[in-house]
């Protein structure tokens, strides 16, 4: 690398100090700005100067590694742009935005900013609108000021230019260094091991807190690619297939749990309803309501098969719950914070939708929000749905709060079932009760909360309870309709995750439901409570009542197929085998058959857990060995040629403004 100036011997003596000053300015700028940038990023995310200084002084090597990554980013931009001040302002803006987004995500759903979040397109832009408090605005202001100050250095710094050869060399070096740490090449791995970097992929919040934002973000790049399990092979999958075939023969004579006479020779409609953020607010400790906000839920818990689902998400990430339920796969085998709908489902993947289609059902997805969200338009096609009815295909829908009402969704379910001759498998996702809940968007809330809550927490909880009540009543609307129908119908109703009731788990903490807002310090029992969602079922035909203490979302499909006494395909059959031993499976919590809690899978179940992980890898990323041994047609089913033909644009009237019920200006939705 050399400055594009005359050789030293040919420079006039009076110019040599200027050249030296310019070189010193370049070096100081390239060293000091990354140091300040990393300190600023950590301050933005950690929130206090004390915590930031404590982390820097306690983790000097990690701090310097974060600085090195920031330096490489700055150097690469400088190599491309060629101006110190402009390059510095761009680097400051990028790093500042990274810290801001990570801060907002942690506040909202307890997860930092991941590399794959960049793929969220519109969803990623929705975060800022939901965090507009004083702390967020101060951070935004700080980033803007920092960018402006760095840019103003354009008129202060001496003009320095590098030759084109030097810029190319600097750019290539910087880019390779970033690549090496992102992919963790052998040399980078040795450096990370020498420094003592401990990457905690199963707890990303702690990972970022320990290693620093820039380093943790960079290390997560490689997690966008799921590593092949060490035990995955054609032989291991063949063994799994053989075991499943043996299990199938052993259970061939099991007594049916469905009364065939009550079905009148018809296949039952199977309707899954995943209600946005639906939960039972009466479970909150030290809080009472003026009246029961969810009476239908509580009645069904006494009368029908019911229990709790263990969700992999809190406060957001709805599509990950869909992924688990529809495919039977588990988020616990994927990188923390990953989003399969955005990252992994780019080809046909066997699911409940494709299975029911094979059984003569019409498989339909319904979601009362826009089809692009979480890439559902494309993903539902790959999962084998015949059609997908998103908000664009609702005509003159009733609005309540910010979104299409839950009652409108129930009416849509009834309409689609009544006009379809074939039995239906329907997977429905509602939207009305999506957060935030800090404004009384329904006008006067019917349900008054009593307890030791701040006025802000009280408003949030009452607004949420009103929405939960509407979801509860929309379920009752469906029951009332199908109770009188001659079509046998089963409804499976549950939420996707607990609601985000204020930042930093505000309502949960004030109500005494958890002891701390730091999720890293939760007990296993608290982790279980913060991920347990009510599940209720209903049918208009005879079905024995079952109590389900706890069941992971990924095991729900297998359980429902068992309830209907339908033959399970291979992957769901394996789910049922594992669920019998560990019904609850998260990356940081395992619940065994005795309802005892573990941080890791018990040794006695690890082999079966490995089979489950290998099959999941085989279906999503591997060579589809399983299909060579069992259920070939189902496991290799292609997309439906007529996907969404009934909702082609030319056949659908344009959506008009819906009937509003106390509807304020619509807020964009977070990446939920």
Digit-coded pLDDT (tens) for 74-117: 999 989 988 888 888 999 999 988 998 888 877 776 678 888 77
- Name the one residue in this structure whose structure tokens are 């969810």: 294
Residues contacting residue 130 through CB under 8 Å, at least 6 positions apart: 104, 108, 435, 436, 667, 670
pLDDT reading at 256 higher than 60: no
Q: Is the peptide bond before 436 cis (omega within 30 degrees of 0)?
A: yes
Tell me: pLDDT of 612 over 80. Answer: yes
pLDDT above 60: residue 44: yes
Angle value at C-alpha 130, between 126 and 134, nearest 5 degrees: 130
Express each pLDDT in 205-249 by its tens digit.
778 888 999 999 998 888 777 889 999 999 999 999 999 988 766
Q: Taking Cα atoms as reference points, which of 562, 435, 448, 590 lies closest to residue 497? A: 435
Contact assessment for residue 410 and residue 448, using Cβ atoms and an 8 Å cutoff: no
Domains in the chain: boundaries: 8-224, 269-633+644-661
Query: Whole-angstrom Cα distance, residue 310 to residue 591?
Result: 10
Distance CA 481, CA 538 (A): 12
State how far the Cα of 313 lies from the Cα of 315, in Å rounded to an integer.
7
Rounded to whole angstroms, what are the CA distances from 37 to 96, 192, 617? 8, 21, 39
Asked whether residue 16 carries a pLDDT value surpassing 70, the answer given is no
d(CA 15, CA 148): 31
**For helices 295-303 and 455-483, what crossing angle results, to 10°?**
50
- The Cα–Cα gap between 69 and 71 comes to 5
Q: What's the average model confidence in pLDDT over 292-321?
A: 95
Q: Which uninterrupted H or E stretch holds 23?
A: helix 16-46
Which value, in Å, is the radius of gyration of the alpha carbons in the chain?
Answer: 28
What single DSSP character describes residue 162? B
Task: List the single range of 291-305, 434-448, 479-493, 545-559 with lowest mean pLDDT.
Answer: 434-448
Residue 652: pLDDT band with limits 50, 70, 90: very low
Q: Which residue, among 254, 127, 201, has the nearest Cα to 588 in the 3D structure? A: 201
What pLDDT does 664 receive? 41
Residues in Cβ contact with 219 at an 8 Å cutoff, skipping those fewer than 6 apart: 181, 182, 184, 192, 197, 199, 211
Q: Which of 157-161, 261-265, 392-396 has the lowest mean pLDDT?
A: 261-265
Give φ, ψ of 532 to 5 degrees.
-100, 125
Assess contact for 39 and 52: CB atoms under 8 A: yes
Look at the block and give the residue holding tokens 């001496």.
Answer: 158
**Partner residues linked to 661 by β-bridges:** 400
**Sign of the torsion angle spanned by Cα atoms 89, 94, 97, 102:** negative
Residue with structure tokens 């590098």?
Answer: 162
Q: Which helix (H) or strand (E) holds 494?
A: strand 489-495
Which residue in this structure is represented by tokens 């968007």?
441
Closest CA to 26 of 159, 207, 151: 159
Chain center to CA of 455 = 30
Spell out the residues 6+ positions from residue 185 whose beta carbon is closer than 8 angstroms to its own: 179
Q: Under the phi-then-psi rule, with left for phi > 0, alpha for psi from -120 to 50, and beta for the rest, what region is 197?
A: beta
Q: What pLDDT is stored for residue 404 in this prediction?
A: 95
| More confidently predicted of 639 and 413 | 413
Q: Give CA–CA dist 532/551, Å, rounded.
A: 9
Distance of CA 361 to the CA centre of its chain: 29
Q: Does domain 269-633+644-661 have CATH number 2.40.33.20?
A: no
Please state, rounded to an integer, the average pLDDT across all residues of the chain: 86
DSSP-derived letter for residue 667 is P
Residues 359, 564: Cα–Cα separation, whole Å: 13
- Only one residue has tokens 């069904």, namely 300
Compute the average pLDDT of residues 350-365.
95
Paired strand residues for 398:
659
Residue 610 pLDDT more than 80? yes
Question: Which run of H or E residues covers position 10?
Answer: none
Which band of pLDDT confidence, cut at 50, 70 and 90, is reported for residue 343? Answer: confident
pLDDT of 649? 58
Candidates 147, 139, 148; CA nearest to 48 is 139
Nearest to 116 by CA among 185, 230, 204: 204
Distance of CA 273 to the CA centre of its chain: 18
Give pLDDT, residue 301.
97
**Confidence at residue 398, expressed as pLDDT on a 0 to 100 scale:** 95
Average confidence (pLDDT) over 346-363: 94
Res. 458 pLDDT band, cuts 50 70 90: very high
Q: What is the DSSP track for 501-567?
A: -SGGGHHHHHTTSSS-S-GGG--HHHHHHTTEEEEEEEESS-----EEEEEEHHHHHHHHHHHTTPP
Helix H or strand E encompassing 401? none
Strand partners, 591: 584, 597
pLDDT surpasses 50 at 668 = no
């Amino acid at each position: 690398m050399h400055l594009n100036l005359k050789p030293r011997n040919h420079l006039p003596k009076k110019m040599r100090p200027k050249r030296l000053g310019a070189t010193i300015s370049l070096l100081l700028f390239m060293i000091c700005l990354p140091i300040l940038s990393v300190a600023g990023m950590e301050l933005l995310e950690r929130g206090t100067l004390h915590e930031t200084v404590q982390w820097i002084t306690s983790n000097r090597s990690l701090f310097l590694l974060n600085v090195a990554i920031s330096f490489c980013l700055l150097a690469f931009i400088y190599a491309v742009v060629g101006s110190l001040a402009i390059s510095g302002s761009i680097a400051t803006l990028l790093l500042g935005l990274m810290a801001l987004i990570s801060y907002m995500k942690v506040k909202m759903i307890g997860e930092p900013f991941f590399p794959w979040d960049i793929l969220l397109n519109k969803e990623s832009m929705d975060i800022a609108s939901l965090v507009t408090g004083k702390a967020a605005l101060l951070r935004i202001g700080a980033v803007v000021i920092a960018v402006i100050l760095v840019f103003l250095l354009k008129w202060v710094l001496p003009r320095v230019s590098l030759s084109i050869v030097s810029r190319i060399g600097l750019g290539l070096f910087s880019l390779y260094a970033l690549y090496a740490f992102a992919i963790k090449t052998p040399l980078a791995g040795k450096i990370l091991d020498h420094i003592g970097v401990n990457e905690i992929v199963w707890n990303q919040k702690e990972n970022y807190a320990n290693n620093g934002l820039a380093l943790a973000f960079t290390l997560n790049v490689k997690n966008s690619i799921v590593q092949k399990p060490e035990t995955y092979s054609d032989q291991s999958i063949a063994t799994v297939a053989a075991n499943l075939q043996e299990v199938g023969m052993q259970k061939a004579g099991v007594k049916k749990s469905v009364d065939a006479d009550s079905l009148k020779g018809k296949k039952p409609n199977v309707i899954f309803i995943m209600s946005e953020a639906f939960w039972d607010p009466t479970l909150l400790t030290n809080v009472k309501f003026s009246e029961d906000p969810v009476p239908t839920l509580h009645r069904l818990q006494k009368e029908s098969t019911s229990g709790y689902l263990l969700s992999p998400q809190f406060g957001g990430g709805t599509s990950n719950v869909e992924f688990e339920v529809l495919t039977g796969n588990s988020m616990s085998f994927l990188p923390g914070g990953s989003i399969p709908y955005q990252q992994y489902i780019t080809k046909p993947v066997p699911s409940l939708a494709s299975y029911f289609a094979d059984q003569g059902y019409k498989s339909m997805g319904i979601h009362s929000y826009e089809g692009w969200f979480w890439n559902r338009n494309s993903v539902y096609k790959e999962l084998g749905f015949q059609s997908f009815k998103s908000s664009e295909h609702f005509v003159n829908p009733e609005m309540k709060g910010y979104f299409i009402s839950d009652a409108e969704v129930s009416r849509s379910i009834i309409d689609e079932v009544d006009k379809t001759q074939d039995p239906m498998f329907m997977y429905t996702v509602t939207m009305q009760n999506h957060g935030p809940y800090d404004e009384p968007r329904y006008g006067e809330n019917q349900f008054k909360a009593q307890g030791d809550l701040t006025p802000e927490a009280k408003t949030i909880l009452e607004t949420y309870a009103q929405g939960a009540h509407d979801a509860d009543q929309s379920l009752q609307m469906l029951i009332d309709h199908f109770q009188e129908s001659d079509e046998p119908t089963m409804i499976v109703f549950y939420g996707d995750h607990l609601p985000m009731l204020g930042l930093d788990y505000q309502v949960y903490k004030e109500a005494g439901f958890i002891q701390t807002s730091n999720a890293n310090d939760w007990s296993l029992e608290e982790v279980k409570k913060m991920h347990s969602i009510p599940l209720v079922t209903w049918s208009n035909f005879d079905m024995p009542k079952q109590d389900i203490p706890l069941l992971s979302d990924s095991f729900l499909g297998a359980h429902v197929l068992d309830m209907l006494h339908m033959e399970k395909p291979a992957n769901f059959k394996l789910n049922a085998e594992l669920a019998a031993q560990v019904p609850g499976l998260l990356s940081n919590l395992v619940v065994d058959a005795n309802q005892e809690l573990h941080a890791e899978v018990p040794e006695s179940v690890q082999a079966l857990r490995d089979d489950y992980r290998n099959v999941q890898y085989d279906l999503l990323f591997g060579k589809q060995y399983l299909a060579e041994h069992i259920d070939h047609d189902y496991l290799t089913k292609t997309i439906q040629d007529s996907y969404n033909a009934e909702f082609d644009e030319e056949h659908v009237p344009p959506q008009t403004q819906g009937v509003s019920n106390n509807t304020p200006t619509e807020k964009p939705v977070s990446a939920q």
